[in-house]
């Protein structure tokens, strides 16, 4: 087993492959991660998050909790809660369809655990205004919201400014230690550590300081080659895609080869199909050979349509079992509902106990006692 030394790095960031995948923890660690239910999940969610969650789910000494962060979407959909409702249900169905198992991990809906809101209320008091508003990720997101189209909601609510603190509440109470996140969320983990340290010092509590677990999966470009796969850019392959939809998106992929002349070596730097094959094709030897032939050019070359055909096959092999499971869960909604009800209830019990403990330490209960 690989031996890992993480002491010489930033203490609150651990890397998935180097530090975590091969690490043998000598005790049970609590892990929480979450997603905003903002729409159907796509390939990027699968590659960057769900695939790692599946590995974590099968690691015996990690206790996993997967959070459906509905408040992080609700503030923006107050006039359109129907969309949030269907996004929550669809996200849970997607989770189940990629084989996340509610028997092994808790699926938790943020708003099903009112203690979360109570703790959030307390934590805002520990957070200086300047610290809350100086968060680079928050600033970035606020700018994006303010630059939205006229017909969209372009005002940032007070809740949104506070969302990193709400995320601290998600993390702190049940003593989660490992928080798998995308890199942009690291400032929130830093905030969590600051706030939790403050609470611990002031009240003699021992809430662990969380660590961010970072996945090294490179960002998946959109089917148009845009840096980001996103539904608003129309460059997305959903986990619900039919074979025809996969074909449509793969065939539309940009390959850049028209730019080079026949005799010149072919350029694959902006070749979207190869970028996808890099991530999804497991036969790396064959892939290298294809690249070599493609770059060398004519005689022994491969055509774009051949690469596209290969990619369609690989993606369909990945997506078709998910599609099938999705149908199953759509016809067995009771399983979907019970997964979030049971998970939220399990977590709620822990929250209630710990919140009580914290309030005792803070001496904000039993006002009549001396």
Which stretches of the chain bind ligand TRP, using CB under 6 A?
32-36, 67, 69, 72, 167, 170-171, 179, 181, 185
CB of 235 to ligand TRP, least distance (A): 20
Distance of CA 97 to the CA centre of its chain: 16
The Cα 31–Cα 310 span in angstroms is 37
- Cβ proximity to ligand TRP, 185 vs 236, nearer residue: 185
- Cβ proximity to ligand TRP, 134 vs 260, nearer residue: 134
Specify the pairing of strand 106-109 against strand 29-35.
unpaired
CB of 180 to ligand TRP, least distance (A): 7
- Cβ proximity to ligand TRP, 109 vs 311, nearer residue: 109
Least Cα distance to 31 among 68, 65, 67 occurs for 65
Q: Which two tokens stand for residue 60?
A: 């015996």
* DSSP H helices in the chain: 43-45, 51-57, 71-74, 81-97, 114-126, 129-133, 136-146, 158-161, 163-172, 186-203, 243-251, 272-280, 284-296, 304-330, 333-362
| Contact partners, residue 340, CB within 8 Å, separation at least 6 | 68, 92, 102, 107, 108, 109, 112
- Cβ proximity to ligand TRP, 164 vs 275, nearer residue: 164
CB of 162 to ligand TRP, least distance (A): 13
CB of 34 to ligand TRP, least distance (A): 3
- Cβ proximity to ligand TRP, 102 vs 187, nearer residue: 187
The answer to whether residues 72 and 141 touch, using CB atoms and an 8 Å cutoff, is no
CB of 202 to ligand TRP, least distance (A): 23
CB of 104 to ligand TRP, least distance (A): 19
- Cβ proximity to ligand TRP, 35 vs 199, nearer residue: 35
């Amino acid at each position: 087993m690989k031996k890992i030394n993480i002491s010489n790095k930033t203490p609150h960031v651990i890397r998935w492959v180097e530090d975590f995948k091969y690490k043998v923890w000598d005790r049970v660690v609590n892990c929480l991660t979450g997603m905003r239910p903002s729409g159907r999940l796509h390939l990027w969610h699968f590659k960057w998050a769900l695939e790692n969650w599946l590995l974590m789910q099968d690691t015996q000494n990690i206790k996993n909790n997967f959070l459906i962060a509905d408040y992080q979407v609700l503030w923006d959909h107050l006039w359109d809660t129907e969309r949030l409702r269907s996004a929550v249900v669809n996200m849970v169905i997607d989770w189940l369809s990629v084989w996340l198992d509610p028997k092994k991990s808790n699926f938790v809906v943020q708003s099903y655990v009112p203690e979360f809101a109570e703790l959030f209320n307390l934590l805002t008091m520990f957070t200086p205004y300047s610290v809350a508003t100086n968060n680079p990720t928050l600033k970035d997101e606020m700018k994006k919201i303010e630059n939205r189209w006229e017909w969209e909601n372009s005002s940032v609510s007070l809740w949104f400014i506070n969302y990193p603190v709400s995320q601290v509440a998600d993390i702190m109470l049940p003593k989660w230690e490992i928080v798998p996140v995308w890199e942009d969320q690291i400032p929130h983990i830093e905030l969590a550590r600051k706030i939790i340290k403050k609470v611990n010092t002031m009240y003699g509590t021992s809430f662990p300081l969380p660590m961010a677990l970072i996945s090294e999966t490179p960002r998946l470009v959109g089917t148009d080659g845009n840096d980001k796969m996103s539904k608003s850019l129309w460059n997305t392959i959903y986990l619900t895609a039919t074979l025809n939809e996969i074909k449509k998106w793969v065939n539309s992929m940009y390959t850049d080869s028209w730019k080079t002349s026949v005799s010149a070596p072919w350029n694959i730097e902006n070749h979207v199909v190869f970028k996808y094959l890099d991530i999804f094709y497991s036969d790396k030897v064959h892939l290298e050979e294809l690249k070599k032939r493609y770059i060398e050019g004519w005689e022994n070359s491969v055509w774009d349509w051949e690469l596209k055909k290969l990619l369609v096959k690989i993606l369909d092999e990945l997506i078709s079992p998910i599609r099938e499971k999705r149908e199953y869960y759509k016809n067995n909604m009771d399983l979907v509902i019970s997964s979030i009800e049971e998970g939220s209830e399990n977590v709620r019990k822990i929250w209630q106990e710990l919140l009580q403990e914290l309030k005792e330490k803070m001496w904000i209960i039993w006002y009549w006692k001396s």
